[in-house]
Amino acid sequence: MKKREGIRNIAIIAHVDHGKTTLVDQLLKQSGTFRSNEHVEERAMDSNDLERERGITILAKNTGIQYKDTKINILDTPGHADFGGEVERIMKMVDGVLLVVDAYEGCMPQTRFVLKKALEQNLTPIVVVNKIDRDFARPAEVIDEVIDLFIELDATEEQLEFPVIYASAINGTASTDAEKQDENMQCLYDAIVEHIPAPIDNSDEPLQFQVALLDYNDYVGRIGIGRVFRGTMNVGQQVALMKVDGSVKQFRVTKILGFFGLKRMEVQEAKAGDLVAVSGMEDINVGETVCPVEHQEALPILRIDEPTLQMTFAVNNSPFAGKEGKYLTSRKIEERLLSQLQTDVSLRVENTESPDAWIVSGRGELHLSILIENMRREGYELQVSKPEVIVKEIDGVRCEPVERVQIDVPEEHTGSVMESIGARKGEMLDMINNGTGQVRLIFNVPARGLIGYTTEFLTLTRGYGIINHTFDSYQPMAAGQVGGRRQGVLVSMESGKASTYGIMQVEDRGTIFVDPGTEIYEGMIVGEHTRENDLSVNITKVKQATNVRSANKDQTSVIKKPRIMTLEESLEYLNEDEFCEVTPESIRLRKKILDKGEREKSAKKKKYAEQS
């Protein structure tokens, strides 16, 4: 079978923070794709502000580099399981993968997750042991771990014969020898050209192009990014779009864009094996096939991971509504959520009985919190409810999502971690002690037990523990209460400014969340109670001034530093009767019912209903 020897299509897969994006940077720089005077930022592929700040890849990105006579199309994939839908579809577009593994950390949960997807597609792997320059790097053991993982995931004989490259992406060096590094990454380019199969050249057959990713542009509308599996596509060609629902639409290809470095350049035609972006289709979706009008033959539809977590997004109705945001109305929020659906295929948005609230479902807390963070940066103001897992009925049994959790902790904390996971209905699968003082624990835990667990985990391990989890499967619901917050909260009973005197009066009742001088309103959560019940407090109280001097007047009042929570921590912290109010300036926690008397009535009614 004829091959297109001048092309290689690869995806770079790895666990979070093992150096995928930095490796792509070096491959781009060393291939001569950029001019010598062109300034290239670090982690050039992470173009979004949030990706840069957090050092994670959220959206898959494509780039193309020229090495000698070969064009190498590279897809940099997200490492987080929350964006697993992206990874799975990308595997369909490529012929091989670079599996990047940290020379010290070895195989992690997401390594397993992404490799499983790659092996299922029969892709050819190359293993890159990155960060070889790290202290305590252990390349030999890591390669053994990788081989064990391949065997466990039922890799074929050919897949087990993978080449290994030892690299330091940050220094831009690589070699085939773990002991010494070459001065550049030449050996990695050579391995890609030699081991990754070239795409089959069937350009003379009828066209088949499948969309795996979506982009959106205000000028041309939706852009479908995918691979030409067969045939040739030309600008101006009239083609048929085979929709997911079985219908067929015709349209004209207005633009074809190829990937060169970080730029997209217009090309006149794309042949079998090319990865391109196509515009001209109004409502193209992931998994749909573009083919000739006279030869309609669809490729198998791509499976998209179902959402596992949902939250209610609502219009902000707190006393401070409209003070800090630009977009507040239900129309604006709905428009923004619907525009997110244009490119994010793992997201679902459903209407509720109220015109001011929507149920938004996603792949996990990170997936949804990144959407909320992007919205607040764009000037939106909204309030969101506690994240809840999506329960499914499978063969008449109620089932919930279960996560595979991998925990690395110092030996002395293993007991308390095992006890806390046990309380959340976790089931232990494995415990590995390599004699280094660090223990690796592997569990299956219901996803609802993990909501809000990170804070407790970091407290238990004094910040030394590392926790990673990835979706495993749907399993029958565990009986009883799983997870959730144990502590009650301190709720403000007055509106006004928090005062130092007011905070000092209630400090011994719990942990305070606000600084003195912060504007607060009745019903806002201002701290965590030391007990399990909620407590109404007044932290706006000001000390009465008198003309009587006290003996200890020279003593300065010192208050403890408040606990300021990030957006993710705030979402994890919520209970069923609470909202998180999100504005461009602030993140506030509040009770759904602000009035103390109304709240108590509602709680009594609920208790009465449960008893009867």
Annotated binding site for GTP: 17-22, 130-133
Please name the helix (run of DSSP H) or strand (run of DSSP E) that holds residue 100, with its range, or none. Answer: strand 96-102
DSSP output for 480-514:
S--S---S-EEEESS-EE--HHHHHHHGGGEEE-S
What are the DSSP E strand ranges found in 363-435?
A: 382-384, 388-389, 392-394, 397-410, 427-433
Binding residues: 17-22, 130-133
**308 three-state secondary structure:** coil
Phi then psi for 603, rounded to 5 degrees? -65, -40
DSSP output for 526-593:
EEEESSSS-EEE-----PPP-SPPPTTTTSPP--PPP----HHHHHHH--TTEEEEE-SS-EEEEESS
Phi then psi for 155, rounded to 5 degrees? -70, 150
CB distance 455 to 570 below 8 Å: no
Phi then psi for 505, rounded to 5 degrees? -65, -30
Cβ neighbours for 28, distance < 8 A, ≥ 6 positions apart: 34, 40, 44, 63, 65, 261, 262
- Cα angle 474, 159, 141 (rounded to 5 degrees) comes to 85
What angle do helix axes 414-423 and 453-460 make, rounded to 10 degrees?
Answer: 160
CB distance 262 to 63 below 8 Å: yes
Instruction: Walk across the sheet containing 535-537 and list its strands.
Output: 510-512, 525-529, 489-492, 535-537
Tell me the one-letter amino acid at 610. E
Helix, strand, coil fractions of the chain, as percent rounded to 5: 25, 35, 40
What are the DSSP E strand ranges found in 301-396?
A: 309-315, 348-351, 357-362, 382-384, 388-389, 392-394
Query: Six-digit token pair at 22?
Result: 């930095």
Tell me the one-letter amino acid at 556. T
Cβ neighbours for 365, distance < 8 A, ≥ 6 positions apart: 82, 309, 387, 451, 568, 571, 572
> What region, left, alpha or beta, does residue 568 occupy, with left being phi > 0 and alpha being psi -120 to 50 degrees?
alpha
What angle do helix axes 139-152 and 109-120 make, rounded to 10 degrees?
Answer: 50
